[in-house]
Amino acid sequence: MFAPRQRVAATQIARVLRPDGRIGIASWTPGGAVGDFVGTVGAIFRQRRHSLSRRRSGLAERVGELFDGTGIELEYELDVVEMRFESIGHAVEEFANLQAST
């Protein structure tokens, strides 16, 4: 989800995957809790080019666009992951550090 050139990343995944191989990709959706959180603290994330709202990373249609023409058969499942933080400040710090490392 943080690859700056997501189509290139998808193409490389398809290239190195064995014909009978499987890969799992997890990505936040813009409308989920993390998407809401990013919107709330958007000033931090707008400093980077990896905006969830622009990327649409976790949306089925976006995943389909990225892997279109690669020959990979896609299955898409929406799930919820519970994340807990000590405080709002701790959550902001964790996400800021995550963004800085990508």
If we measure between CA atoms, which residue out of 75, 74, 76, 71 comes closest to residue 19?
A: 71
Q: What is the pLDDT of residues 40-93, one digit of tens each?
A: 766 665 655 554 444 566 788 888 999 999 999 999 888 888 888 899 889 888
Contact 51, 28 (CB under 8 A): no
d(CA 92, CA 97): 9
Is pLDDT larger for residue 34 or for residue 19? 19
What local confidence, expressed as pLDDT, does residue 99 receive? 56
CA distance 37 to 1: 16
- Crossing angle for the helix pair 33-40 and 88-100, nearest 10 degrees? 90
Q: Which residue has the higher pLDDT, 37 or 101?
A: 37
Average of per-residue pLDDT across 1-25:
89
Q: How confident is the model at residue 101 (pLDDT cuts 50, 70, 90)?
A: low
**pLDDT over 70 at 100, yes or no:** no
Q: Which tops the pLDDT comparison, 74 or 29?
A: 74
Q: Can you give the residue ranges of every domain in the chain?
A: 6-100
Structure-derived torsion over alpha carbons of residues 16, 20, 21, 22, reported in degrees to the nearest 10: 130
- pLDDT at position 46, please? 62
